[in-house]
Chains A and B, each alone.
Chain A
Amino acid sequence: MSEYAENLSSALVQRRYEWIASTVDSTVKKGSGEIFTLTDMLDQVFLDKHLGIPIFLTILWTMFQFAFAVSEPFVVIIERVFEMLGAWVNQAISDPYLASFVSVGVIGGLGSVLVFVPPIFGLFLALSILEDSGYMARAAFVMDRFMYRLGLHGRSFIPLMIGFGCNVPAIMATRSMDSEKDRMITMLISPLISCSARLPVYVLIAGALFGASYAGTAVFAVYALGIVLAVVMALIFRRTLFKGEPSPFVLELPTYAVPDASSAILHMWSRGRMFLKKAGTIIFWATIIVWLLSVHPWEATSGGQVIAESYIAWIGHAIEPVFQPFGWDWMAAVALLFGLVAKEVVVGTYGILLGAEEAGLGDALVSQGLFTPLTGFAFMAFVLIYVPCVAVIGTIAKETNSWRWPAFALVYQTALAFIVTGVIIAVGRLAGLS
């Protein structure tokens, strides 16, 4: 029996390592052997006690900058194409019903969502590069100290990072975690990490209400709010539903590598195409339904001209009282209702309701006086928190193999959205904002 073994299982493991050692001995001649590799050198900096976290935050910020800088030209191209298409359709189709369907329903609705494909792909590309270069695992190491205090550990951090791109792959990435409790906590808080699908809403509202100089700050504040809420909820869940110590943290840090372009692009594509699929199916149908409801009854709305007379306005007015305390009108109510399908639809819905192209949407919001900066910010917060989209609900159901947890996520997030939004409005009004 092996001399070190404490039990049979360990004895078997040791025998395997002994065999491996002798095999390696007889087949491998080690080279001169590098004492201090490039990886060691980079780790000295990236994993430094004091520099580690500032470096990580800088990289995170750079990642967002990169995603938006890379994607901007493509956004402009898509906007132009859809504008031209819309104008052309209005001229080419003489039947007003068909023209409205194609230009407002199909092109308008889809166009307002597709402009966000480039930044989303940009974000996924940045995440792929971080992952392929080997830095992602370092971020987990650096953040472990912080995550430990939340009752989680560094490994939960990677899924949360991916969540900035899309919550669905984030929830799926929790699979590699060892402990069921840690996995559940990570899964339940990950929808609070603001995914790229919510960005269109922030960009629209913040761009319209806060002006170019403050819009960025407002958007950043919502992202930060999401992170803070995720932290708070993690602490609460650890102390209530999933009591106990975080599971042990073990993670191999790969050697650094220059990311290979083709594999980074493939990686980006495999994640990003999910968004395309969503835009092509769920979002498309949702905007068609919004269009149908907004132009019918056809006579009363004079062919979609007077939306106030449409079914959608009727629905909006019916649920408006729920949101009245926040100072939002029926359009916001409708947009949030359809945003249950996917949060991008909030923007698409406004596009149809205000009958404006993506570019003109912000101006339309301002000219109709739908939001003040306070109620607008509260709206952004609500969009961040309330019910993750159907895809997330479906993924949680699939991953937990139950309907209990997705139902729980739905209820707790909606409740949290009302509470946080209420607090924002109340504090704002106390501070004298309207």
Chain B
Amino acid sequence: MNSSGSVSGGRLPLAFLPEGAEGIVLEVRGGQGVTRHLEDMGFASPARVKVLKSCPPGAMLVMVKDSRIALGRGMAMKILVRSIEEP
């Protein structure tokens, strides 16, 4: 797998995943500070994420590395994921 996109399965911002959906983090976009902070919090490729709650336009609640992280919409837009189809 490469990181330059065009992978089938789609490459979309985490913010677009519906409640209950899961994905794999591909990349974190944004300034160095923000990217690094998100990575330190566990949103580093290829971490697995699951959307627990999504209340647009408010924050979303995501499960990553065994803990629940509340993420603002803006932040969730910076995290690009590949969605995993439910088995």
Contact = CB atoms under 8 A, between A and B. Distances in A.
Contact of A13 (B32, B44, B68): B44
Contact of B44 (A10, A39, A49): A10
B44 to A, nearest CB: 5
Contacts of B72: 144, 148, 153-154, 246, 248-250
Contacts of B28: 10
Nearest to B68: A253
A49 B37 contact: no
B70 A137 contact: yes
A431 B59 CA distance: 43
Contact of A47 (B2, B61, B75): B61
A10 B68 CA distance: 22
Contacts, number: 103
Query: Which residue, of A6, A250, A253, has the highest number of chain B Cβ atoms within 10 A?
Result: A250
Interface string A234-252: 0000000000011011111
Contact of A251 (B39, B44, B70, B73): B70
Interface size class of B (residues with CB under 8 A): 35 or more
Contacts of A144: 58-59, 70, 72
Interface string B75-87: 1001000000000
Nearest to B69: A252
A413 to B, nearest CB: 29
Contacts of A252: 41, 67-70
A10 B72 CA distance: 22
Nearest to A9: B36
Given A145-B58, A250-B41, A252-B68, A6 B27 contact: yes
B45 A145 contact: no
Nearest to A146: B58
Interface string A219-234: 0000000000000000
Contacts of A338: none
A248 B47 contact: no
A35 to B, nearest CB: 12
A270 to B, nearest CB: 26
Nearest to B3: A4
B12 interface: no
A3 B71 contact: no
A4 B69 contact: no
A181 to B, nearest CB: 14
Nearest to B74: A248
A43 interface: yes
Interface in B20-59: 26-28, 32, 34-42, 44-47, 52-53, 55, 57-59
A303 B85 CA distance: 87
A403 interface: no
Interface in A168-217: 178
A133 to B, nearest CB: 15
Contacts of A249: 59, 70-72, 74-75
Interface string A140-154: 110011101000011
A255 B71 CA distance: 16
Interface in A8-57: 9-10, 13-14, 17, 39-40, 43, 47, 49, 52
B45 A4 contact: yes
A148 B56 CA distance: 11
B47 A6 contact: no
Nearest to A149: B57
Contacts of A250: 37-38, 41, 69-72, 75
Given A10-B44, A13-B40, A43 B70 contact: no
B54 to A, nearest CB: 9
B40 A141 contact: no
A246 B40 CA distance: 20
Q: Which 9 A-B pairs have the closest CB atoms?
A: A145-B58, A249-B72, A4-B45, A144-B59, A248-B75, A253-B68, A13-B39, A141-B70, A251-B70
10 contacts: A5-B3, A9-B36, A40-B52, A43-B53, A146-B58, A148-B58, A148-B73, A154-B72, A248-B34, A250-B69
Interface of B: 1-3, 26-28, 32, 34-42, 44-47, 52-53, 55, 57-59, 61, 67-75, 78
Given A10-B35, A248-B74, A250-B71, 15 more contacts: A3-B1, A4-B26, A9-B32, A9-B35, A9-B36, A10-B39, A10-B45, A13-B39, A14-B44, A248-B75, A248-B78, A249-B70, A252-B69, A253-B69, A255-B68
